[in-house]
Structure 1
Amino acid sequence: MSYTLGNSELQTITGNTQLHYDAKSFIIGGKRVFLNIASIHYFRMPRQEWREVLVKAKLAGMNCVDTYFAWNVHESEEGNWDFSGDNDCGAFLDLCSELGLWVIARPGPFICAEWDFGGFPYWLKTKEKIQFRTDNEEYLRYVYRYFDQIIPIIHSRQITQNGTVILVQVENEYGYLAGDASGMSYMNGLRDALLSRGIDVPLITCEGGAEGTIEGANFWSGASVHYEKLMRKQPDVPKLVTEFWTGWFEHWGAPAATQKTPDLYEKRLMEVIRAGFDGISHYMFFGGTNFGGYGGRTVGSSDIFMVTSYDYDAPLSEYGRITAKYRTAKKVSLFTQALGEFLLESVPMDKGEARCVEGIDLQGREWNGQKLWFAESNKQEKGVFPVTLGSGRTLSVPIKPGQIATILDRIEVCPGLRLTSGGCLIGNDRLGDVQTLILAGDDGGRTHAIFEADQAIHYENAGTILLESSSDARTLRMDAFHFQTPQRILLKVGGQRVEIITLNGYMSDRAWKLQGDDVRWAIGWEDMNLGADGCVSGVSGGTNCETLLLGNWGSKSGNGWEHQGSTVRNSGNVTKSLLLPSISEWKQKAVNLLALGTGELAESPQGFAELGLAFGYLLYSSDVECDQDHVSTLVFSAIQDPARLFVNGQEQAIIRQVGAASTAVRLLKGHNKLQLLVQHMGSLNFSPYLGEEKGIFGPVYKDGSAVDLRRGWYYGEEVVHLDEVHAAPFASALTRTFELMENDHALLVGAICNGLRINGTEVSIAGYQNWFAYHAVDISAYLVKGSNIIEMPVAQSPLNRLELLTYNGSGKLENWSIDVLDDAVEFDESSDSIIGTGPTWNRSTFDLPEIPSDSNPKLKLRMSGMSKGYLLLNGRNLGRYWQIGPQEDYKIPMAWLKKTGNELILFDEEGRMPDSVRLFYDEQSNRSWHTLNKA
């Protein structure tokens, strides 16, 4: 039996091309829809992985996909458009349609996304007089040319054109940047550009709107506040969480971003549902990878550069594996499906007659006599708490500390039958002629439920479920235990058969709902997948874990099980030990620094975009003559990436601070060859100052000075140190003095605040916003020789950086040579290789061992012992690495491997030996996959 996920749902969409909305929800094909949205970016994975990731989203209960479109991927060089292979975004949209997934298209042009330059192509920086994200004529000329390419791809796949694109976003998070008249003019212009190119589905915005669009909110917490804000702005439209932040991005040198636990994730989702939102976009649902140089750079300090992994601690890992958060997302989305109509029609209500013990907060929603309660625990321990509802009905409800548990109050689960229960309803589906209810609970927990009907309720197969029927048999009380073995009871109400299945936490985490021509359930499976051929496969749930197949699986499935509600005990996961690829002996070739730096000279260093480069490495060289040995302070007036400093071929320092920076250098009497190796680490993806040049692109001065200005301020008579925590913002500006002696130029760099004054004159910082927490400004014109007074309001602490750099114009280093380090390196036996003394290329090869057909392996590269550089696999750039954490392992896409002769090249800035670098499969790779049905 062939089974295509989402086929009938897709027919429902395309059979009625009308898309409407009101204050309650979007209405598609005449039906209200609660949008469970998976944020997935096609450009962060190989095309061959799209299906697996999208199917996993569908199996988690997602009915919609949200994706950005990355301009710089499609026009990496001006005029050269690429919509092929991994960049075929039209094919991605077509696959969403095939799988029955609606789409929210977010073409930008600005997307943020922790993606280099927020999605803009690097070469836009080189255009004269261009200003980004404004009504700038030069900027809009290129934006509209981009729209001419990307919008037809989206237009032809709208629901109005028999596709599944239901919403298109105008720009992105513009309210964080500007909300004035000029900003609205810009947004309205982009809106009109979309409309004129045939977009006729509703337009949305997020965190900042445009006239005639539906605005959504981006957040992680404070759902009720965001809901009320949207209600005040647009009371008559649906309320979407356009980005619900499931995790967070990571940057080099920072701790891992794993602060949002699955339990907290569930609580925040319940807050969103409780507030009344009718759509939740899980940003990210699958994060993927920043291959190549596409990892961005964000605000908060001068050197926050994205790691190569964009795992995001999302429900699906970077490798497409399910996580504990995935199971949470699945549970909550199944809950919204089971109660979809109620959630979209209901309104908030007062507690009324509902009562609970102190420490349990009750909030509710109601519709048509039905009620749903959200019981939030402020207790320190888990407990079973009595809750009394209307008519004196009392339930015992288990609630964990901080949890928001749901209580169904006379919810009509099928015509004539109402359910009151503290269990989490994750299934309410008609399977054949049986209405099937699935209640999830904790391991070893209990669910108290009350069924009320217009007719007598008959039951059978009670087993360990305790039942108590009223005298007229129209009320049935049930006390069910959540065992590892699913508990089942069959009711009959009039002519309707109803089955109740109770699952414990372990089994409900392993419950899968498959929606196609009909609905089926597979319970007890660790993981599930659906192939392009319609075959459903799964990984068994563990030793003695019973599996349950519900619905029409054909007369016999691939495992020979009966089709209706059969239960089979597993013998456990069948695992195998896959053979690992073996890396051959490494060949090394050192970069001869002293042989470089003899090319065409420039007066000052130039940046990447100036040289026509999107990413990669530059080597800056300058000759410095000294009349004696001494230590000098170099001042970099414009540097936007970390730099490694070499003098006469020997490394002296790595410069981490950027914007403007300094470092001490030991210079010898006579000739010194000063060289700086700089890797493009990503352009700002979110900032008031998009479009910064990369690398070193301003004058460099010797014999300067650097002073940390964070300490020694005065607030009245109180001494204040800004690198320390202060409990409250200061009511007025702080003051500090500094001396300017032999040097005549000065830069202030770091967490500057608006309102900065020097010697009584306010320093103009055009466009700067304090939340950016980083800027570099030339204050030379405000200074006097000798003592200077600086005043600055300070709203928060501690400050990561506030530094005064001074220099004299006569110390400018001139005659720079700039070399591009490309990856066209030749490895041969005669190569002169000096390892461990400077930048080095490393090359190895490996073959791919035989992979069993019942496996789904994922390959990683662990970069133990290396320093900083980037990776190439068979000529593809896998991204940057930097062994300062938090990333240690790097994704090796199986789709980019060959059977034999895979070439792996590592460029390492310090020339470290890759003896400890190794390939390995993730833990799930050794699991065996079983076919549940035959296609």
Structure 2
Amino acid sequence: MTYTLGNNIGEQTIAGNARQGTQLRYDAKSFIIGEKRVFLNIASIHYFRMPRQEWREVLVKAKLAGMNCIDTYFAWNVHEPEEGKWDFSGDNDCGAFLDLCSELGLWVIARPGPFICAEWDFGGFPYWLKNKKKIQFRTDNETYLRYVYRYFDQIVPIIRSRQMTKDGTVILVQVENEYGYLAEDASGLSYMKGLRDGLLDRGIDVPLITCEGGLEGTIEGANFWSGANSHYDKLMRKQPDVPKLVTEFWTGWFEHWGAPAATQKTSDLYEKRMMESIRAGFDGISHYMFFGGTNFGGYGGRTVGSSDIYMVTSYDYDAPLSEYGRVTAKYRMAKKVSLFTLALGQFLLESEPMDNVEARCGEGARLQGRQWNGQKLWFAESIKQEKEMFQITLESGRTLPVSIKPGQIVPILERIEICPGLKLTCCGFLIGNDLIGEVQTIVLAGDDGGRTHIVFEADQSIHFDNAGHIPHESSLDGRTLRLDVYHFQASQRNRVNVGGQLIELIALNGYMSDRAWRLHGDGVRWAIGWEDMDLGADGSVSGVSGGCDSEPFFLGDWGHKGGIGQGQMGTTTVHSAGNAFKPLLSPSLSEWKRKTVNLLSLGGGKQAERPRGFAELGLAFGYLIYSSEIDCDRDQENTLVFSAIQDSARLFVNGLEQAMIRQVGAVSAHMRLSNGRNKIQLLVQHMGSLNFSPNLGEEKGIFGPVYLDGSTVELRRGWYCGEEAVHLDEVHNHPFASTLSRSFELSENDGAILVGALSSGLRINGKEVPMDGYQNWFAYHAVDISGYLVKGSNTIEMPVTRTPLNRLELLTYNRSRELKNWSAIQLDEASEFEASSVAIESGPAWYRSMFDLPAIPEDVNPKLKLRMTGMSKGYLLLNGRNLGRYWQIGPQEDYKIPMAWLKETGNELILFDEEGRRPDSVRIFFDAQSERRWQTLNEA
């Protein structure tokens, strides 16, 4: 089945659910499920980044935040870690994950790749693909595609059987991922068409989508954080008659070892960017990530931009839901905006932008508007440096006072139809408009202590029940009511009656609106004032008290005898499942036992002329120890040049560490040798394969020739632009007038490698050096320039497009001085440990400790962290499961210990430390929220 999406497709009927009669359609404005337009609030959540036991909690949190759809990748390397050995069990049971989404009433966007990026090792490809002869990734390569379609034969049936057409909830399937960043030429389109047809031929019949790169027969989405208008306009030019999705709205960012924490996107800015997307006209937003999770094992990837950008083990992403599944300020902001889209869903999806804006505002604010059927929604944006009250005159001539924070976008509703015969004008976030029992309930969120001017207009007289409590004014005919409501800690609740229809207006301040929860199933219910909430598999509802001055209150039918159903005002009772409050005691680690890695006694393994990499040796992750020997006739100092290295390494000579190698691609390392035979060893950890690059599939570890007696020349200084000296490690604000040049001398050596931030157009001694696969955004390349050099003076010419450069080096060597006869062995996990009483650290070592879980009350939701204070670099094992890499150079300090992987007693924690540092300061502790007491609604 092939779709043709053009400029005149009209409304498309895509899929029907035969048993339930649910139809999925779309037109230029939105997707239509059944007979209802839907604004897709999409939570990006990866099943493979958490234990299966956490799926429900995370998905429920997404649903409670107003998300109606889940977006997930499928990681090929998780399901086929070794060729032909498939795993869809336990934590890898992606079908069960989709089934749980269905159970919770969440639609699904399935993204099977085969390339997923996701800051995941090798972009989701299995490591063993690197060993296939003549393979090229993400292109029309016969070998590559043969394995891709074998993967499709496994993964597509799992998705196919859960499509909306098969009584499931999968509504969209993505073809590949972000291919437009790589290539949109004829060969690239041919590759994409093949993948599209591969999905169709295997029974995918819901709409196909792409992101950042289009394809006939698919709906293209945009990935971004800012610039919503330009992205929307681009999609409109390409496909004006299909829905407009933000396929990845980047809520935060990933982190890598040694970099600052990626917390630059504040919750206020997050709100603004969401509002920009809504204002632009997008009808769906996928929050990437909504919950990031963890890169357990060795699955953290590596990305471009420098030579050694390796992902940390945490994939928290500064997302709305933390790595531990905890609610954050961004979560509350996502919930507020998603409830806003739900309350105004039909209007947002039917409306069009207003070209001629006659509304007016004071200096320092900007207005944009949308309209439909006589109703208008304005977006008022402040460009002031402080919070200010703006007077905004709408097209009807009515003036409203609107308080706006710096940079904030505040929605203003003008004559929005709340229910038949009643229209609402006000500023602020309408987060609820539900018929609860017989009461039309309007929930309005505002700032703490703020005031909102409300105007009701009706076809009949409006009777105000709370006339004595708040300022109000009625028109002479009684059909217009103006009120000022205040957003106090004690929520204001006011009622009007229009023709027998009761309307309740609930004004919440910022604190209480952050703690407002909307539940829907057989009917709509609200719980207002709880810090956190959860839904049990048995349908129970539990929560954490907000600890505020106002009591929580509940709206709707909660099943209480003589209670507050049918939208009655009031509160309901809760009961605690636990005993009297007792602080949780953190687990106590037993005395650490140690097993030292005796490098000099290790077996040599199979000999080879040059070092071999991880994939070549059949290893997905872990550690390798490379060994070789050098005979010296005297004590001396020497420099090794590694022509191909892609991971950090520690260099040992005769069992003593002499260098820590951080930079990769090609590097040099200084060492001291003794008279006689010297044993050279390198301890290398697989730090993750490139997950995004034009050069996917690099070998890992050390795998190229290694040379003795090399040298290194730092090349960031000493350049000339004409007569002007230029230093490339400094900031230059203007483009250089011409190509830069630099000279260097070559005497004894006959080989050279340039490594670092090279530019296209590189010339050596007047000859241009081709750089296959070069991309100007890939800020490091290693290029062998040996064939361009002469003895004596050599000249490098290079256009420089940006500064400063973080690395640019010239490595020289003599090809006759290659160090040969290498062996490589995998570092095996220690099985026997001894008491760790030696105070001196003496090289790589394993450590082992045991711990029991303390008594945990039933009414808490504990989360455990492992803090690796004082350690160097290595990885962690918990009860035989790999918790991931650690490296105490920041920004990650704490590591997640999943409660699902623990036993009540006898938990084993093993860590490997490259420097053998003693783990005396390592500790396990519960996070602060673990002290919260959860309460269950009384169903009596």
In the TM superposition, 1:256-405 aligns within 5 A as 256-350=261-355, 352-405=357-410
SS at structure 1 position matched to 2:551? strand
In the TM superposition, 1:186-197 aligns within 5 A as 186-197=191-202
| More displaced 10-residue stretch of structure 1: 18-27 or 464-473 | 464-473
Q: 217, 225, 234: which is aligned to 1:212?
A: 217
Any idea what the Cα deviations from partners look like across 1:751-798, whole Å, max 9, x if unmatched? 111111111111111121110111111111111111111111111111
CA separation in 2, counterparts of 1:579 and 1:701? 55
Other-structure match for 2:638 = 632
CA separation in 1, counterparts of 2:274 and 2:822? 56
Other-structure match for 1:750 = 756
| More displaced 10-residue stretch of structure 1: 219-228 or 797-806 | 797-806
CA separation in 2, counterparts of 1:852 and 1:397? 47
Q: Which amino acid aligns with 2:657?
A: E
Q: 129, 136, 146: which is aligned to 1:131?
A: 136
Any idea what the Cα deviations from partners look like across 1:847-868, whole Å, max 9, x if unmatched? 1111111010000000001000
Other-structure match for 1:4 = none
In the TM superposition, 1:171-250 aligns within 5 A as 171-250=176-255
CA separation in 1, counterparts of 2:567 and 2:776? 63
Q: 470, 478, 484: which is aligned to 1:473?
A: 478
SS at structure 1 position matched to 2:616? helix
SS at structure 2 position matched to 1:129? coil
Other-structure match for 1:565 = 569
2:821 counterpart of 1:849: no
| More displaced 10-residue stretch of structure 1: 867-876 or 348-357 | 348-357
2:688 counterpart of 1:682: yes
Other-structure match for 2:94 = 89
Any idea what the Cα deviations from partners look like across 1:653-706, whole Å, max 9, x if unmatched? 100000111111111122211110000000000001100000001111111011
Q: Which amino acid aligns with 2:48?
A: F
Do 1:616 and 1:822's aligned partners in 2 also have CA atoms closer than 8 Å? no
Aligned residues: CA RMSD:
1.9
Do 1:836 and 1:911's aligned partners in 2 also have CA atoms closer than 8 Å? yes
Q: Which amino acid aligns with 2:568?
A: Q
In the TM superposition, 1:912-927 aligns within 5 A as 912-927=917-932
SS at structure 2 position matched to 1:689? coil
- Percent identity, aligned pairs only, is 78
Other-structure match for 2:411 = 406
Say if 1:14 and 1:49 are closer, same or farther in 2 by CA, change over 3 A.
Answer: farther
CA separation in 1, counterparts of 2:737 and 2:167? 59
Other-structure match for 2:817 = 811
SS at structure 2 position matched to 1:343? helix
Say if 1:254 and 1:575 are closer, same or farther in 2 by CA, change over 3 A.
Answer: farther
Other-structure match for 1:775 = 781
SS at structure 2 position matched to 1:772? coil
* Deviation (angstroms), 1:251: 0.3
If the length of structure 1 is used for normalisation, what is the TM-score? 0.97
2:420 counterpart of 1:415: yes
2:745 counterpart of 1:739: yes
Say if 1:582 and 1:12 are closer, same or farther in 2 by CA, change over 3 A.
Answer: farther
2:526 counterpart of 1:531: no
Do 1:590 and 1:841's aligned partners in 2 also have CA atoms closer than 8 Å? yes
* Deviation (angstroms), 1:15: 2.4
Other-structure match for 2:679 = 673
Do 1:619 and 1:819's aligned partners in 2 also have CA atoms closer than 8 Å? yes
CA separation in 1, counterparts of 2:467 and 2:790? 90
* Deviation (angstroms), 1:570: 10
Other-structure match for 1:764 = 770
Q: 677, 693, 703: which is aligned to 2:709?
A: 703
In the TM superposition, 1:575-590 aligns within 5 A as 576-590=582-596
Size of the aligned set, in residue pairs, is 923
Say if 1:569 and 1:259 are closer, same or farther in 2 by CA, change over 3 A.
Answer: farther
* Deviation (angstroms), 1:567: 3.1
Other-structure match for 1:7 = none
* Deviation (angstroms), 1:576: 3.7
Do 1:544 and 1:570's aligned partners in 2 also have CA atoms closer than 8 Å? no
Q: Which amino acid aligns with 2:410?
A: A
CA separation in 1, counterparts of 2:80 and 2:890? 32
Q: 623, 626, 632: which is aligned to 1:617?
A: 623
Do 1:13 and 1:29's aligned partners in 2 also have CA atoms closer than 8 Å? no
| More displaced 10-residue stretch of structure 1: 626-635 or 367-376 | 626-635
| More displaced 10-residue stretch of structure 1: 64-73 or 423-432 | 423-432
* Deviation (angstroms), 1:715: 1.6
**Unaligned ranges ≥5, structure 1:** 1-10
Do 2:564 and 2:572's aligned partners in 1 also have CA atoms closer than 8 Å? no
CA separation in 2, counterparts of 1:379 and 1:350? 25
2:66 counterpart of 1:61: yes
Do 1:12 and 1:29's aligned partners in 2 also have CA atoms closer than 8 Å? no
Say if 1:699 and 1:282 are closer, same or farther in 2 by CA, change over 3 A.
Answer: same
Say if 1:69 and 1:282 are closer, same or farther in 2 by CA, change over 3 A.
Answer: same
Other-structure match for 1:517 = 522
In the TM superposition, 1:865-884 aligns within 5 A as 865-884=870-889
CA separation in 1, counterparts of 2:19 and 2:113? 26
Say if 1:807 and 1:827 are closer, same or farther in 2 by CA, change over 3 A.
Answer: same
Q: 601, 604, 608: which is aligned to 1:602?
A: 608
**Unaligned ranges ≥5, structure 2:** 1-15
CA separation in 2, counterparts of 1:307 and 1:13? 46
* Deviation (angstroms), 1:351: 5.1
CA separation in 2, counterparts of 1:832 and 1:519? 63
Other-structure match for 1:448 = 453
Any idea what the Cα deviations from partners look like across 1:715-761, whole Å, max 9, x if unmatched? 22221111111113335321111111110000011111111111111
| More displaced 10-residue stretch of structure 1: 806-815 or 104-113 | 806-815
* Deviation (angstroms), 1:402: 0.6
Q: 627, 634, 649: which is aligned to 2:655?
A: 649
2:108 counterpart of 1:103: yes
Do 1:647 and 1:673's aligned partners in 2 also have CA atoms closer than 8 Å? yes
Do 1:535 and 1:933's aligned partners in 2 also have CA atoms closer than 8 Å? no
CA separation in 2, counterparts of 1:846 and 1:834? 23
Q: Which amino acid aligns with 1:697?
A: F
Other-structure match for 1:593 = 599
Do 1:177 and 1:688's aligned partners in 2 also have CA atoms closer than 8 Å? yes
Q: Which amino acid aligns with 1:798?
A: P
SS at structure 1 position matched to 2:303? coil
* Deviation (angstroms), 1:599: 2.6
CA separation in 1, counterparts of 2:287 and 2:712? 45
SS at structure 2 position matched to 1:392? coil
SS at structure 1 position matched to 2:338? helix
Do 2:752 and 2:812's aligned partners in 1 also have CA atoms closer than 8 Å? yes
Q: Which amino acid aligns with 2:821?
A: N
Other-structure match for 1:6 = none
Other-structure match for 1:43 = 48
* Deviation (angstroms), 1:463: 5.8
CA separation in 1, counterparts of 2:643 and 2:254? 29
* Deviation (angstroms), 1:571: 13
2:506 counterpart of 1:482: no
SS at structure 1 position matched to 2:586? coil
Do 1:39 and 1:66's aligned partners in 2 also have CA atoms closer than 8 Å? yes
SS at structure 2 position matched to 1:138? helix
SS at structure 2 position matched to 1:131? coil
Say if 1:654 and 1:13 are closer, same or farther in 2 by CA, change over 3 A.
Answer: farther
Any idea what the Cα deviations from partners look like across 1:608-642, whole Å, max 9, x if unmatched? 00000000000011111112222211100000000
| More displaced 10-residue stretch of structure 1: 765-774 or 889-898 | 765-774
Do 1:545 and 1:569's aligned partners in 2 also have CA atoms closer than 8 Å? no
Do 1:865 and 1:917's aligned partners in 2 also have CA atoms closer than 8 Å? yes
Q: 880, 892, 897: which is aligned to 1:892?
A: 897
Q: Which amino acid aligns with 1:779?
A: I
